[in-house]
Structure 1
Amino acid sequence: MMALLACGTGFILDFLFGDPVWLYHPIRLIGALIAFLEKQFRRICKDQKNAQFVAGGLLGILVVLVSVVVPCLFLYAAGRVHPVLRFLLESFWCWQLLAAKGLKQESMKVYAEVKKGDLPGARKAVSMIVGRDTQCLDEAGVVKAAVETVAENTSDGVTAPLLFMMIGGAPLGFFYKAVNTMDSMIGYKDEKYLYLGRCAAKMDDVLNYIPARLSAFLMIAAAWVLKMDARGAWRIYLRDRRKHASPNSAQTEAVCAGALQIRLAGDAWYFGKLYKKDYIGDDIRPVEAEDIPRADRLMYGTAVLTFLLFGMVKLVFIL
């Protein structure tokens, strides 16, 4: 019950205030640990592929252990002082681990630049939230990139950590974010990370398999509640949910494309190289700037439904 209340408090704080940027974020500490261990393992393994593969597995185990054990120890110590102190600490961490308002704020920066007609400014704003090259994107490309990021991160940044925290409080939330951060830092299929980062990428795929699909179903429900094209969201989800290199990334992206009646994805440039990608959705209408706040509303609707549904499920098990 305490973990559920802390998760609910964190959810409300994120909804109202967004990420507390005035305090050093714990995920940055996890990122620093990943970078440190990568450096040490590379020094030991050199260019030996098999050794790098084993090192990647050890790196993953160490990062996860530290990311879970340290919060558990802090919460235990806080609880020994007073249960209220433990509750406040766990609520604060749950707040930090959610990214709904932060995602909205960053996407709306792109929206503001597009509405001003400042394409270079919009490209710069969207470059802060996507990994692709943005310098050659036209206005529609900028908007699509922002919408795709909101759609994909609805699961990675909001509903998935929310689900893990509702199951096991902040420590399980840190477990999820540790794996997610490893994937974003070293889970690439390029020459540098093909072996060292393979374990991190697979861990992220496994960990997100169920949350991504739950998020997609809840996003379809949110589209219906928000009077978007829920039928189109379901149709595009069934058709296009596998049109991505990752088994999870296209789940919510397909729903969003269908709900907004637009076409997303397609070819994209990364680090100066063109990657061929399938389209997701149908171009029933042209992409427009207003699709960014629409995607944000869909993200928030999905988050609220996730919290309400699984909060009630957990209450049933508790009571």
Structure 2
Amino acid sequence: MGSAPLGGKAHALGMLAGVALDAVFADPRRGHPVALFGTAAAALERRTYGDTRAAGAVHVVLCVGSVALLGAAASRSRNPWARGAVSAAATWAVLGGTTLGREGAAMADFLEAGDLAGARGRLPHLCGRDPSHLEEAGLARATVESVAENTSDAVVAPLVWGAVAGVPGLLAYRAVNTLDAMVGHRNARYERFGWAAARLDDVANAVPARLTGLLAALGAPLVGGSARRAAAVLGRDGHRHPSPNAGRCEAAFAGALDVTLGGVNVYGTRTEHRPEMGDGPRPSAADIRRSVRLARAVGFAAAGIAVLVALRG
């Protein structure tokens, strides 16, 4: 294999630096670039909203297209140091693995201390599930499921898109995922307007979610699990989840941790009955900590793969 073009090396090393920045600094409490994008997207929605799929598609094109163009413009410099710095900043901005791990650890702390009120108050940092009536087992399950799914959404997927599409891929993916969280809901307002954002997010996460599942299965021995069992649960249960992507992540984590995920979830006035995945007991606070360790291992493995792919680009 020949040496990678200078631009590819700069981007690859920049992505590696961005992973390191996320590991050290995590997400800023104020002024996060993703939050600023969300504010701008919400302002634009007031002008683009219409109860049609076409209006939602226009909204997605404007939001995602603008950040992709911004990424392309920012990474055009011929100076490899400048290109690497832009890649590092963009990678840090779109990754959320360290913050995800800290939120999971905080939930484990609350549950181990018997502080259900604190855990219920903290859960919205991880997911949109109604925590008001959840007990320890339900809170632990919600946390493990969120860690599993967000390992793909907040770590593996942006790295995949950064590896194959550079800085525009990093920023565009995070825009797609953020729009899905904002408007991709099945409710009266967004049933049609949010359709494009939700479907594009499904497409963008198809490969990363399956890579997450594979890496989680391979990493099972790192958390006392069996790679063979995790792979079996992934193959048996991954497709049973209502999400075409989240199920792959959750099933692999269930198998790797030897726990059972899935069941009844309450989101405000909406109740969902999800198929169970895995064969073990319901997760506990200790399993939350194991899920965080597994997520961290998956993230580092994905970073290594992404850097190698970018070097070949």
TM-score > 0.5, shorter chain as reference: yes
Deviations, residues 85-144 of structure 1 (Å, cap 9, x unaligned): 442233122112111110001111111111111111111111221101001000011111
Deviations, residues 177-224 of structure 1 (Å, cap 9, x unaligned): 111011111011122111000011110111111111111111111113
Any idea what SS the aligned residue of 1:276 has?
Answer: strand
Residue 301 of structure 1: aligned partner: 297
Residue 10 of structure 1: aligned partner: 18
Amino acid in the other structure paired with 1:59: H
Report if the CA contact (8 A) 2:223-2:257 is conserved. no
Q: Within the alignment, does 1:32 sit opposite 2:39 as a pair? A: yes
Distance 1:246 1:179, change over 3 A: same
Q: Within the alignment, does 1:251 sit opposite 2:258 as a pair? A: no
> What pairs up with 1:1-319 in 2 under 5 angstroms?
1-21=9-29, 24-42=31-49, 45=50, 49=51, 52-76=52-76, 79=77, 83-282=80-279, 284-315=280-311, 317-318=312-313
Amino acid in the other structure paired with 2:283: V
2-structure distance, mates of 1:286, 1:314: 39
Amino acid in the other structure paired with 1:265: G
1-structure distance, mates of 2:169, 2:308: 19
The higher-RCO structure (CA 8 Å, 6+ apart) is 2
Distance apart, 1:227 and its partner CA: 4.1
Distance apart, 1:170 and its partner CA: 2.4
Q: What percent identity do the matched residue pairs reach? A: 34
Residue 4 of structure 2: aligned partner: none
Distance 1:72 1:312, change over 3 A: closer
Distance 1:279 1:204, change over 3 A: same
Amino acid in the other structure paired with 1:70: L
Amino acid in the other structure paired with 2:116: L
Amino acid in the other structure paired with 2:289: P
Distance 1:227 1:290, change over 3 A: closer
Amino acid in the other structure paired with 2:34: I
Q: What stretches of structure 1 of length at least 5 have no aligned partner?
A: none
Amino acid in the other structure paired with 1:173: L
**TM-score (norm: length of structure 1):** 0.90
1-structure distance, mates of 2:257, 2:74: 44
Report if the CA contact (8 A) 1:3-1:90 is conserved. yes
Deviations, residues 256-291 of structure 1 (Å, cap 9, x unaligned): 011111111211111133222211212x23422111
Report if the CA contact (8 A) 1:222-1:305 is conserved. no
Amino acid in the other structure paired with 1:37: L
Report if the CA contact (8 A) 1:179-1:200 is conserved. yes
Deviations, residues 56-100 of structure 1 (Å, cap 9, x unaligned): 111111111111112332334xx37x5434422331221121111
Any idea what SS the aligned residue of 1:274 has?
Answer: strand
